[in-house]
Structure 1
Amino acid sequence: MKALAAIVLAAGKGTRMKSERAKVTFPLAGKAMVQRVVDTALKLKASKIAVIVGWKKESVKISLNPDPSLEFIEQKEQLGTGHAVMVATESFKDFEGDVLILCGDVPLLSAETVDKLWTAHKEKGAAATVLTAIVDDAGRYGRMLRDDKGNIKGIVEYKDATQEERKIQEFNTGIYCYDSKKLFSALSKVTNDNQQKEYYLTDTLEILYNAGEKVESVVLEDIMEVSGVNSQEQLAELENIYYDRTRKHWLNNGVMIHNPATVLIGDDVVIGQDAEIGAGVQLFGDSCIGRECIIGPNCLIQNSALGVGSVLFGHNIIIESELQEHSIIDYGIKVIRNNSDE
């Protein structure tokens, strides 16, 4: 099996967030955005994950759970996406395999989609494979350029595109899979001869195409997966989408949820069939809700396990605790580290 690595772009400041905080450290549903991106790479068993850091680099580092596959590489100047990947050249000089390019501020990208990208890349023997999407109006995204045979020949950034090119509906999502050696060879030929005076990663596709290499694409089915975060408002919108998808998952797997829009469920939570969740409930961390449990309104449960058939009357707080089967917890009772305040 071919080795897989990932480069996570996480060096930007994110000025539109109106904050001094590094953008990728903002939490979405209880996890830093960049942690969610790293988790995606870990699910694909990437053996090496290089996180490119810059602005508030130490805060980015501590926002991530320790893992032996992680390494941090500093981009001291932000000179474009191509430059961000260039700073990893030395780290990857001995790596033989494929490398994913992921964005630290795109937290909803699923492991299933990235696996589909990598699978297509391997099956087609491509030097580079880009995740694209098709919409009526691609806004300010870079447009995919194809030759008369339909092959990708490059990407043009919106600011550098002609009016005709801006009419193209297929756009670049900024997610790629490359043959590592061919990526860094192409990067060595990239220049900053453009309006932004930046080194564009997108230029590598044209370089590879002109060298006779195969450049492929996978079209994204769910465009929400590549929604980036550029403001606090956008972050809140994505968090709502995330929680809504989680709720729908459990609603379609035998769980009753009252007034679902008020309920928050973390992605590490497991809920048994025929459980009933009241309005305003929050379930976080490594929590397991047993079958046929009834959780009354406005309860908070974090890193806890509820045995089969347990009942919480409502307004309860259960933290780092384990309730035996058929436990009954009266209104307002707190159980913290298995100690009750009754």
Structure 2
Amino acid sequence: MAPIVHRTPCKQSQTLNGITESQVFLKLENLQKTGSFKIRGAFNKINRLSEEECEKGIVAASAGNHAQGVALAGREKGVPVTIFMPEATPEAKVMATRQYGATVRLVGKSFEEAYAAAKKEQLFTGAAFIHPFDDMAIIEGQATVAMEMMQQCPELDTIVVPAGGGGLLAGTALAVKSLNPSIRVIGVQAQAAPAIASLFHGIQNSAVPFLPTMAEGIKVKEPGKLTTKIINAYVDDVVTVSEQEIASAILFMLEREKMLVEGAGAAAVAAVLHRHLPFHSNSTGVIVSGGNFDISKLNACIKTVTDISTASSY
């Protein structure tokens, strides 16, 4: 993966150090190619495809970041790519996916509807399907984020990871527990779409909310079977954050770290910023998973924070 994937910085946040009374390091995957970690898994999977598997093209479904990763990896492989995305996908993510050379089809109101359309296309065309999270090659690719973090910051005792379908969280847990089982892995989800958190804590799916969220990149109703199995075996805990907390984390990153990150990318920051970790950590790694924020939604983000002075005071 080295020829195409950036080794992103792991930057200490002095402000978060003061808030948490510990050392906090931000793994800046928002600076990754395509603006998120997703290129890692997509490239790892697509690079393994045989010529025969690629003959009829590649198809995928995505809320945005996986689409860009698949589009770029497919372009590098020289294979045409078709991506199915929900109709409400931020325009910035749609345009970026097209600029990487993919054909984009906007279908349905949710990731699940886009996914169903993509699978139908695969059956009709015979194209290679690139799952956004429930594939071992995808999970292994995402695991390289944690592998880099442990090399860059060997003193880490906790890694905090945003989770939607669970590919990044599962990959992180596998890497961490294989290399240093004493490091704790904490997943973070939006309260509006907490499928993994609910399963982890034994809550029935019928009681789980699935609501609009500014963290659309981790809004997944049904996490993967493979990712869920790995998460249940190796993750230490999964917590949730509110829309207000996600919004304040976006503003924190903009004001104090001078970086614009998307809602999913800010979720793990929100968990640390608002003290949702279930135990004290002396050295915490936080994965900032993506930076593909739709700038037109910044005012809505600001309005979500009822007391803007709170976000400005960090």
| TM-score normalised to structure 2 length | 0.31
Higher helix share: 2
Taking CA–CA contacts closer than 8 Å with sequence separation of 6 or more, which of the two structures ends up with the larger relative contact order?
A: 2
